[in-house]
Chain A
Amino acid sequence: MDVATSSVRQGYVLGLADDALVAAQRMGEWIAASPQIEEDVALGNIGLDLLGQARSLLTYAGSLETPVRTEDDLAYWRDEHEFRNVHLVERPTADYAVAMARLLVLSTYLCELYALLRSSTDGTLAAVAAKAVKEVDYHRDHAAMWVLRLGDGTDESHRRMQAALDSEWPFVDELFDSSYLNPVLLETGVAVDPTVLRSAFDRRMADVLTEATLAVPSTRPAPGGGRSGVHTDAMAPLLAELQGVARAHPGATW
């Protein structure tokens, strides 16, 4: 692989990796803060699944550079504008309904994405996707269970679940934006074109939301920009927490 090809491919891998890494960081915030201790464990497991995906992908992304960078180099020593994650995953999740709405959106998208990425011509991406697709399928199930119960629960839970969906929906379109993808990645079968995932995503979301007596939001899309390193105000505090210890004690191990 020549340098240009490596760099194009790395950009794509970093987008996948950073979505998982930042989503894992937000999921971790629920440990010891969930409605029940069982949910602490469930969301902890889900966060660790996402972190595992991020680690594999970051290690691979780092290996595409010369000199090679490690997963830690990439997670802890990049600055905000170098992160390639979508805005969906970086914003705070103060309400549990928001966390579940977000997880449903993200995992439904990732189910479709990883299912196709298993056939990537890039062997490493195909292997990561083959393992991850089973994990995100469970995440989707977990989120759907809660969206059903909260949506079709009490008046209060229905109101908050709908509000949570409405708050996440403007960030859905960015997931399916393929404008940042270098066409070479699609021509060579390395990347999955996210636009082809949209109809399956819409169908699966509508199935869950209808059963949960919730309306598919019609909110207008947010501007996006995460794939090119432009982030929301929430990203800096998130990175400060994610990177603080590693930067205060460079090279520390435990």
Chain B
Amino acid sequence: MTEQREWPLYEVFVRARRGLSHVHVGSLHAPDAEMALRNARDVYTRRQEGVSLWVIESALITASSPQEKDAFFEPAADKIYRHPTFYEIPDGVEHL
């Protein structure tokens, strides 16, 4: 009997146009990365959403876990000095 295996999951990133970053848009199944790229083209860019695609096998992504949220992100909450908000903006500077 043939072994039945589920195709691996891939995460899809689309660059909407030149100058923008690739943005995560979703995931899909594919037998390998080459096919994942083609599936992504068909599923996520059929309405001209992008000019460039990245795919990566979901298992290869190391992600922070919800349990680590406090240790990872809480300490930044009261460090307001990390925000560049203590500068006097000189006159005549429009786009700051």
Residues of A within 8 A of B (CB): 36-39, 41-42, 45, 141-142, 145, 149, 154, 156
Contact = CB atoms under 8 A, between A and B. Distances in A.
Given A145-B38, A149-B31, A38 B43 contact: yes
Q: Give the size range of B's interface with the partner.
A: 10 to 19
B34 interface: yes
Interface residues of B: mostly helix, strand, loop or mixed?
A: mixed
B56 interface: no
Interface of B: 2, 7, 28-32, 34-35, 38-39, 42-43, 46
Contacts of A149: 31-32, 35
A36 B7 contact: yes
A42 B36 CA distance: 11
A38 B30 contact: yes
Interface residues of A: mostly helix, strand, loop or mixed?
A: helix
Contacts of B38: 42, 141-142, 145
Contacts of B31: 149
A142 B38 CA distance: 8
Contact of A38 (B2, B32, B34, B42): B42
Contacts of B30: 38
B29 A36 contact: yes
B39 A38 contact: yes
Contacts of A145: 34-35, 38
Given A145-B34, A149-B31, A42 B2 contact: no
Nearest to A142: B38
Contacts of B34: 145
Nearest to B35: A145
A45 B39 CA distance: 11
A45 B42 contact: yes
Most chain B beta-carbon contacts within 10 A, residue among A38, A45, A156: A38
Given A36-B7, A141-B38, A41 B43 contact: yes
